[in-house]
Amino acid sequence: MATRKVTLLLVAAAVAIGTMAVVRSMMSDAPPPEQAPAIQITEVAVAAHDLPTGTILKETDMKWVQWPSTSDTSALFVKGQSSMPDIAGAVVRDGFRSGEPIMASRVAHAHDQGFLAAVLTPGMKAMSVSLSPTAEVAGFIFPGDRVDVILSHSFSRKDSAEFTERRVSETILQNVRVLALDQRSDNQSTDPKIAQTATLEVADKDAEKLALAVDMTSSSSASKASISLILRSLASDDKSGDIKPTPTWDSDVSPAYPTVNGDDGLIQRVQVMRGKVITEDTFERHR
């Protein structure tokens, strides 16, 4: 009886060993599991922070992030195909959220159709004026700068029995943004260049003033008239442009001319007394 049990145990052990050998052989013959293909990665330009419509892109407004190259990147700016300096200077047509890819169709580059309209502040207009060679600070005014616009002109008035020619210079616009010089609307180039035409951002009424000034300079009867741009400091405290400047007459520059408040009678001064306060106003005397 004992011998029979031992025999059965030996047979069971042999079967188990055989089964393990067969399984191990089958596992060694099976092909290794296939590895998933590695995802190809590229880098695309995205917004470093929220970029509202009208933003002129700077390199600090963007950053490179990893992006699957297997996805469609034809509408994006891909590193190696584009660079940050290439994108900088473009204006945002449609705003981007922080981290959103910069799409080529939603930005406009200089000389692209609609670029100037995208740069304009809502409610403002763009108007171009011709400049004399010395009218824009020897080429050191660039798009994005703020300027004052000065009109210098001459005219004749009848004083008594004679016509007197007078020259006057006056600030007609203040704190105006320069949009473009000639056909250059980006401020990435820092090489000084004398521009012949400036495009300025103006409000409706200022556009009317500027149009009249342009007409005065182009008129044959006002051949001595000119428009000049005066560069404003970036640290200027006067951002509103609500200070009304007074004209500068030829007599303020040269004593050879009669004073406006003198014998020619062009200006009449009136003193107004309100109690102990005395103010003086000037009025142009019409003939």
The DSSP string of 149-211 is EEEEEEEEEEETTEEEEEEEEEEEEEEEEEEEETTB--S--------SEEEEEE-HHHHHHHH
pTM: 0.57
Token couple for 283: 């009025």
Q: Which residues touch 251 (CB under 8 Å, ≥6 apart)?
A: 257, 258, 259, 260, 262
C-alpha separations of 104 from 77, 94, 101, 188, 232 in Å: 7, 11, 9, 19, 34
Q: What does the pLDDT read at residue 48?
A: 94
| Greater model confidence, 179 or 239 | 179
Determine whether domain 41-118 maps to CATH 3.90.1210.10.
yes
- Per-domain boundaries in the chain: 41-118, 123-257
CA atoms within 13 A on the CB side of 269: 8
3-state secondary structure of 252: helix
CA atoms within 13 A on the CB side of 192: 7
Whole-number Å distance between alpha carbons of 95 and 52 = 4
Tell me the average pLDDT across 84-101. Answer: 88
User: Which of these ranges, 92-101, 142-151, 262-271, has the smallest mean pLDDT?
Assistant: 262-271
Q: What does the pLDDT read at residue 50?
A: 92
Q: Is the pLDDT confidence value at 39 over 80?
A: no
Q: Which of 91, 125, 110, 134 is nearest to 184 (CA)?
A: 110
β-pairing, 197-202 with 125-130?
antiparallel
Confidence band for 132, pLDDT divided at 50, 70 and 90: low
Q: Which residues pair with 151 in a beta bridge?
A: 170, 227
Q: What is the DSSP letter of 49?
A: S
